[in-house]
Amino acid sequence: MENVRVEREDELTLVARKPLFGLPTACSTCLPVYIYLKFSKIPFTLEFKNNYPDSDRIPFVECGDYVAYNNVNGGVIKTLKEDKIVDLDSDISSTPEWVSMKAMVESWLKDAVLYELWVGSDGKVAQSIYYSDLPWPIGKVLHFKQVRAVKQLLAITSSNAEEREQEVYDRASMVYKALSSKLEEESFFFERPTSLDAVFLGHVLFTLHALPETSILKSKLLEHPNLVTNAEKLKAEYIDSNSPSADPSSSASNRGPSRWSSKPEYKPPKREKTEEEKQFRKRSTYFVACQFIAVLVFISIFGGLEDADVDDDGIYE
């Protein structure tokens, strides 16, 4: 594709969270990056990292000495575009309709997934994606921290919880309706794949395959058959056709990084790690000790709450 440039000889490596639910990566943030690279048709290797469930640097893309982190410069896709590594939006990113659609997907639909994962469900899906490889107490503490963070992000309080829930789902329904009308029976929103298609396809596949049948968000998506049918068609074309034969639900976190390559039998060259990566890996030195302390704090706080008075609704005051 003429609007895609890779200025390095090394193959790209996408570092993401583990595969699950029949998806190459079960992380709702990692999946759009994977699809974006698939749309670009540039060979890359997929590496799984399961031992940093609370890291906002994942996903990230490596290429030689180059690294694009999720929490830097607006995310991996934006960084890849600005650095002229992979740009699918070069002649369309200033189109007002494209900009507004991308904004809705990256805000309202992202909020809806966050709500379903951390607030509006029993937490089993989030547990299986992020914490299933950790000891149970550590996973519970990290899950509790993330629920609080998401409630703060979405401005959810005990007094406005029902109102905010309705608003989250109403906005998601508006986006689905608008995008369904725009897409009609086409494969892409603007004749060819862009980052908008990658982000939205990642959202749809995650909603369809990762969220439970009781999901309100999934039920609202299923009201638009053309979005569902097109997503499954693109999944078969860009993802399933290159899927490995191994069981994608297996974890390799205890055996070192696992690799799922879009170019079989390719082994990227050895290289010296950057200072940024060295600092990233140094977190492992403190991880166990810090989480052990967090467990003790968690147990002490909630152990004390068991003796507290409970109101009529069973909520601790």
Confidence of residue 280 (pLDDT cuts 50, 70, 90): low
Concatenate the DSSP letters of all residues of 245-278 into one string: SS-TT---TTSS-EEEESSTT--PPP-PPPHHHH
Q: Looking at residues 255-261, what average pLDDT do you find?
A: 40
Domain residues of the chain, as ranges? 12-281, 287-317
Span 228-246, average pLDDT = 82
pLDDT band at residue 317 under the 50/70/90 scheme: very low
pLDDT band at 53 (very low <50, low <70, confident <90, very high): confident
Between residues 164 and 255, which one has the greater pLDDT?
Answer: 164
Contact predicate 226/185, CB 8 Å: yes
Q: In this prediction, what percent of the chain has a pLDDT beyond 90?
A: 65
Strand partners, 68: 61
Whole-number Å distance between alpha carbons of 105 and 94: 16
Asked if residue 256 has pLDDT above 90, the reply is no
Q: Tokens 């029976």: give the residue.
A: 185
Candidate from 16-25, 97-106, 277-286 with smallest mean pLDDT: 277-286
Select the more confidently predicted residue: 260 or 272: 272
Pairwise CA distance, residues 273 & 264, whole Å = 24
- Band (pLDDT 50/70/90 cuts) for residue 124 is very high
Burial of 264 (0-12, 13-18, 19+ CB in 10 A): exposed
Q: In terms of pLDDT, which residue wins out, 123 or 243?
A: 123
- 12-281, CATH topology level: Glutathione S-transferase Yfyf (Class Pi); Chain A, domain 2 (1.20.1050)
